[in-house]
A and B are shown apart, each in its own frame.
Chain A
């Protein structure tokens, strides 16, 4: 007879499953400096690579003289495009259907572009040799403005001359990449023409950079004896890198092992394939020795993938009561020198067409023109799903501008336009099916939490005091209600280089009731080893502490599309739940045999199968695991393991309500965040502590972007922000306190109802901070001013409004 203690509640608590603020298992090594990053990998005989980079944004490469560099003792090789051409590796395909130079092939197109790759015995010799490579350039006219680029006679991409169409349709000019459209243009324009009120604005979301603390790098090791290439690197999608490496190199895929070790932040920067990876591989093949390449901070900021750089022209129509009737948007998208955006193949502007946001807008149109300029390539999703941050910023600014046009309160304008809870699943005018939401509940909770009416009264008092000369500080109340689209995605319309965007989980239960599970994703700080174990714990009834999670080694992990775009929980997390259910199905058969009952006579209860109506008769998952390995069960294979590949039926649509209260010094342009309230609804909450950490991190990156972080160029294409002196990364000092809150509206199609959260705070945070700045000056006539809102740009707003007397 079985002992019925511990109680059911205790058994649930012991699992540390869904809803438990379980401490992060990764932090033991990270807080002790025991992580294992790419630059920690040291192999016998390993060589070091370093790049010669272009000082010019646009120039012809007349000659590259390697002689002096090769003469330096310890220099093994200097690779140029000429050396890579016979292998057809001087160019490589990008994720966006374009191609990119691995090493400068006749010309350079942005400052910092890779020109030659030096391979040497140590890092210092490599850097010395870079200085000795003599490159002769002939400068060419530089285009840094996308609007000017579309008018210019200067041809940036001579390699594309004569090609009137690219991967995404016709090109109308030699610096044009694509025009991508969604929605009903004619119907939208008709609504705009006859609307009571139309608000129009150009909204620029400036160029910035994910700037992970760990820069990008790789170690390639070609074993010429067994023909196997091992590639360690900062890869957010290791399996895709393996497939690409195989296609590019001709090495069969089973002979390539790609490993993502610990990664120190990715935020989209580590999705793409960079010349450094290719050159490391080639150098290892050529030399027969392992080759390491790790970029420095300046290289990271200047040459690896940027984010945003969208000029968004918007027109929004409404009735005079404030009901939105239509939304029109045209984006001029600066993609830099090569179209290396990281988006699902069929979406050259990502999911930008989520830009109707949280609002029930009957008709809408979006057109996006991609443009080449002399800037670094990229266009990655910096802590957001593909172009969703741009979309959220666009609609949340347009709603504010409309509120000004209507003379309405911006909170009320949002409320009367929200999609109602009873409208879900909701089909948006731009083609999405929103899975679930309850925006009004979240909004009311947020407004009540900050005493919104009280804040508005205080603000009105402040404006009066300012006008009387009693204060030089204004108060801004920044509102945002965002809706994200994450969890790419359904294989029917989402792929990267042809690979469907499913994900996977494989689990092996050990005889003594512990387990190892492997997934196709890779944590870069998200805490997968903690949270995926919790999903599994709740599904299979073994404690999370007894489940090891492994990711990132393509020789052991099942194929998956990696971690970015908040897709890990929606897709791989779903695979984990499904694989757990497969385990449970077999476990039920084993339990039935052990208990000598029919399977249908068993109920699942937390961590065990119990005979219906006989609670003292049960088998725990631990008992069952042991039996799976030591009993001959008729009709069943021994062992207890399973694999699941999950193709999501839809995206998930997390949402949130953020309110930022900001003090602004009109004389110095300085700001102070007095209060920041963040309500997130990410569906079922797996680990509230990890969610809170994700929200804090994402809000801090949003603060950076809104209030100062940018990649800026001068007129001749020099990057002006290539160090952390000028590129703003907030420290504890600049970071305000955040109050986090939640509602919980599960996704109806996800096995456990989870939606993903890591990127919500960046998507919602940027408009919240920016709207606070705008709101502070609304009473003085400000409609819109471009980010980032650093001191001088805020000062400029005040100055142009005549507030400096």
Chain B
């Protein structure tokens, strides 16, 4: 658990960070909260020659809410997400999800940007960002661009981010209606056995719109439009929920690990999705 030698860089603005990244190429990685990268370095599974620490870049911090548009800097920690009252008003699902990530010590260091950019299917925020239909803001040598969260994840640890790009912020429209982030894990600090993010809008006693996404049930986060479709227009009764759950399960591809075999995970996923839908509907 001793990392190999590396150079440590600590730029104070995005431009410097981006130019470091461009100059150093694939020998460099940016460091956010470090909860994924540093263990990989200590296990010597990641050989990083240059570590570019983003913590001194003020432009990557802060949460802004403009009407129903929410922009969150990449270096905002989970603890800051939880503590932000304005965010809790417009998008309470972020607090609910962040509170289910690891423990307070980890949440003081772990960031939203690190959580979404790393491409680890076990991370919770990528699934949530699917549900929200968020956009990721990237800055690279050719300037800034936006990528939809739903287009970002290609495979485990493989994303649409180019190696010389930095993920600077996450932007989404505050979701109206009910919400739920439901997660089963073995213990504090564990990745999900199964987790689901559900958003539901209600009009006239019926589901006006819905969004269903899942965590750690495939090699990427899973957004299930079919599940949302199964709910939309219904009274969100047992039949509709069963149909939506079945639709969501058709979109996942879990693998066996120490949490259990595939049959168990599929079963638990169904329970978690059902519970998330029920809770979101009860809040809609």
A residues near B (Cβ < 8 Å) are 50, 123-124, 126-128, 131, 296-298, 667-670, 708, 712, 720-721, 724-726, 728, 730-731, 733-734, 790-792, 795-796, 799, 804
CB contacts (< 8 Å) of B184 on chain A: these are 668, 670, 791
In the complex, what residue of chain B is closest to A472 when comparing beta carbons? B271
Contact bitstring B1-44, A, C-beta under 8 A = 1, else 0:
11011000000000000000000000000000000000000001
Could you tell me if A720 and B258 are in contact, using CB atoms closer than 8 angstroms?
A: yes
Q: Are A734 and B271 in contact (CB under 8 A)?
A: no
Q: Is B89 an interface residue (CB 8 A)?
A: no
Cα–Cα distance between A39 and B71 once the two chains are bound (Å): 45
**From B258, which residue of chain A is reached at the shortest CB distance?**
A726
Does B190 count as interface, using CB distance less than 8 angstroms? yes
B 249-261 to A, binary, CB cutoff 8 A, 1 in contact else 0: 0000000001111
Bound: A670/B193 CA distance, A: 11
Residue of B nearest to A131 (CB): B44
Contacts of A791 in B (CB 8 A): 184, 186, 193, 259-260, 264, 268
What residues of A have a CB within 8 angstroms of the CB of B267 in the complex?
A: 667, 795, 799, 804
Of A298, A668, A728, A790, which one neighbours B268 at CB under 8 angstroms? Answer: A668
Cα of A721 to Cα of B267 in the assembled complex, Å: 24
- Contacts A720-B258, A721-B258, A731-B103 hold; do A792 and B1 have CB atoms under 8 A apart? no
User: For the complex, is B188 an interface residue (Cβ under 8 Å from A)?
Assistant: yes
Q: Which residue of A lies closest to B270 (CB)?
A: A667
- Min CB distance A68 to B, Å, is 14
Give the residue name and chain of the A residue nearest to B42 (CB): A296
Beta-carbon contacts under 8 Å, B31-77 to A: 44
Chain B residue nearest to A123 (CB atoms) is B2
A725 to B193, CA, bound (A): 13
Rounded to whole angstroms, the CA-CA distance of A795 and B2 in the bound complex is 38
B189 interface residue (CB < 8 Å to A) = yes
In Å, the complex CA distance between A708 and B263 comes to 19
A732's closest neighbor in chain B, by CB? B188
Alpha-carbon distance A791/B272, docked complex (angstroms): 14
How distant is A710 from chain B, measured CB to nearest CB, in Å?
9
Contact between A667 and B5 (Cβ–Cβ < 8 Å)?
Answer: no
19 contacts between A and B (CB under 8 A): A124-B2, A128-B4, A297-B1, A668-B271, A708-B187, A724-B189, A725-B190, A726-B258, A728-B186, A734-B187, A734-B188, A791-B184, A791-B193, A791-B268, A792-B260, A792-B261, A799-B263, A799-B264, A804-B267
Give residues of chain B (177-221) contacting chain A, Cβ–Cβ below 8 Å. Answer: 184, 186-191, 193
Check B271 against A725 for contact (C-beta < 8 Å): no
B111 to chain A, nearest CB (A): 20
> Which among B1, B103, B187, B261 has the greatest number of chain A C-beta atoms within 10 A?
B187
Using CB atoms, name the residue of chain A closest to B190. Answer: A725
Closest 10 CB pairs of A and B: A792-B260, A127-B2, A296-B1, A792-B264, A733-B188, A726-B258, A667-B271, A731-B188, A795-B264, A668-B268
CB distance from A675 to the nearest CB of B (A): 21
B216 to chain A, nearest CB (A): 13
Expressed in whole angstroms, the minimum distance between the Cβ of A60 and any Cβ of chain B is: 25
Given A792-B264, A795-B260; A730-B187 close (CB under 8 Å): yes
- Is B268 within 8 A of A708, CB to CB? no
Give B122's nearest chain A residue, CB to CB: A725
Q: Judging by beta carbons under 8 Å apart, are A731 and B1 in contact? A: no
A345 CA to B89 CA in the complex, in Å?
67
Tell me which residues across on chain A come within 8 A of B258, comparing CB atoms.
712, 720-721, 726
> Main secondary structure on chain B at its contact with chain A?
loop
- Spell out B's residues near A (CB within 8 Å): 1-2, 4-5, 44, 103, 184, 186-191, 193, 258-261, 263-264, 267-268, 271-272
A40 to B103, CA, bound (A): 27
Of residues A721, A728, A731, A792, which shows the largest number of chain B Cβ atoms within 10 Å of its Cβ?
A792
Expressed in whole angstroms, the Cα–Cα distance for A733 and B104 within the complex equals 11
Complex CA–CA separation, A123 to B3 (angstroms): 10
Number of A-B residue pairs, CB cutoff 8 Å, is: 69
A720, chain B: closest CB distance, angstroms: 6
* Shortest CB distance B171–A (Å): 32
Q: Which residues of B contact A668 (CB under 8 A)?
A: 184, 268, 271-272
Q: B264 near A728 (CB under 8 angstroms)? A: no
Q: Are B2 and A792 in contact (CB under 8 A)?
A: no
A-chain residues with CB within 8 Å of residue B259 when the two chains form the complex: 791-792
**Chain B residue nearest in CB terms to A730:** B187
- Of B4, B187, B193, B272, the residue contacting A728 (CB under 8 A) is B187
Q: For the complex, what is the distance from the CA of A297 to the CA of B260, rounded to whole Å?
A: 24
Chain B residue nearest to A667 in the complex (CB): B271
Which residue of B has the minimal Cβ distance to A720?
B258
The complex places the Cα of A167 from the Cα of B76 at a distance, in Å, of: 62
Does A790 contact B271, Cβ atoms closer than 8 Å? no
Closest A residue to B185 by CB, please name it: A791
B246 → chain A, closest Cβ, in Å? 14
Q: Report the minimum CB–CB distance from B128 to chain A (whole Å).
A: 21
Q: Which residues of B contact A726 (CB under 8 A)?
A: 258
- A790 B186 Cβ-Cβ under 8 A: yes
Partner of A124, one of B5, B191, B193, B272: B5
Tell me the complex Cα distance, A734–B271, Å.
22
Nearest chain B CB to A94 CB, angstrom units: 27
The answer for the CA separation of A462 and B53 in the assembled complex, in Å, is 55
Q: How far is the CA of A101 from the CA of B260 in the complex (A)?
A: 35
Asked whether, in the complex, the Cβ of A128 is within 8 Å of the Cβ of B268, the reply is no
Q: Which residue of B44, B190, B271 has the most chain A CB atoms within 10 A of its CB atom?
A: B271
> How far in angstroms is the closest Cβ of chain A from B173?
33
Please name all residues of chain A whose beta carbon is closer than 8 Å to the beta carbon of B271 when the two chains form the complex.
Answer: 667-668
Could you tell me if B5 and A733 are in contact, using CB atoms closer than 8 angstroms? no
Q: How far is the CB of A673 from chain B (nearest CB, A)?
A: 14
**Roughly how many angstroms separate A296 CA and B3 CA in the complex, as a whole number?**
13
A712-B259 Cα distance, complex, nearest whole Å: 12
Contacts of B261 in A (CB 8 A): 792
- Residues of chain B lying within 8 A (CB to CB) of residue A799: 263-264, 267
Q: How far is the CA of A689 from the CA of B272 in the complex (A)?
A: 42
- Measured between C-beta atoms, what is the minimum distance from A419 to chain B in Å? 39
Docked complex Cα distance between A795 and B193 (Å): 13
Are A731 and B5 interface neighbours, CB within 8 A?
A: no
Is the Cβ of B5 less than 8 Å from the Cβ of A128? yes
Bound-state CA distance A669–B194 (Å) is 13
Smallest Cβ-Cβ distance to B265: which chain A residue? A792
Nearest Cβ on chain B to A130's Cβ, whole angstroms: 9
Smallest CB separation, B91 vs chain A (Å): 25
Complex contacts, B193 vs chain A, CB 8 Å: 791
Partner of A731, one of B187, B263, B264, B268: B187
Residue of B nearest to A795 (CB): B264
Please name all residues of chain B whose beta carbon is closer than 8 Å to the beta carbon of A725 when the two chains form the complex. 189-191
- Choose among A131, A720, A725, A726 the residue with the greatest number of B CB atoms under 10 Å from its CB: A725
Bound Cα distance A730, B186 (Å): 10
Contacts of B2 in A (CB 8 A): 50, 123-124, 126-127, 296
Among A733, A795, A804, find the residue whose CB has the most chain B CB atoms closer than 10 A.
A795
- B260 surroundings in chain A (CB, below 8 A): 790-792, 795
Distance in angstroms from A49 CB to nearest chain B CB is 12
CA of A669 to CA of B271 in the docked complex: distance in angstroms?
Answer: 11
Tell me whether A795 and B188 are in contact in the complex, defined as CB-CB below 8 angstroms, given that A124-B2, A296-B1, A731-B103 are known contacts: no
Q: Which residues of A contact B187 (CB under 8 A)?
A: 708, 728, 730-731, 733-734
Residues of B within 8 Å of A712, CB to CB, are 258
Cα–Cα, bound, A669→B267 (Å) = 11
Residues on B with beta carbons closer than 8 Å to the beta carbon of A126: 2
Complex: how many Å from CA A296 to CA B5?
18
CA distance A298 to B186 in the complex (A): 20
Chain A residue numbers with a CB within 8 Å of B188 are 731, 733-734
CB-nearest residue of chain A relative to B271? A667
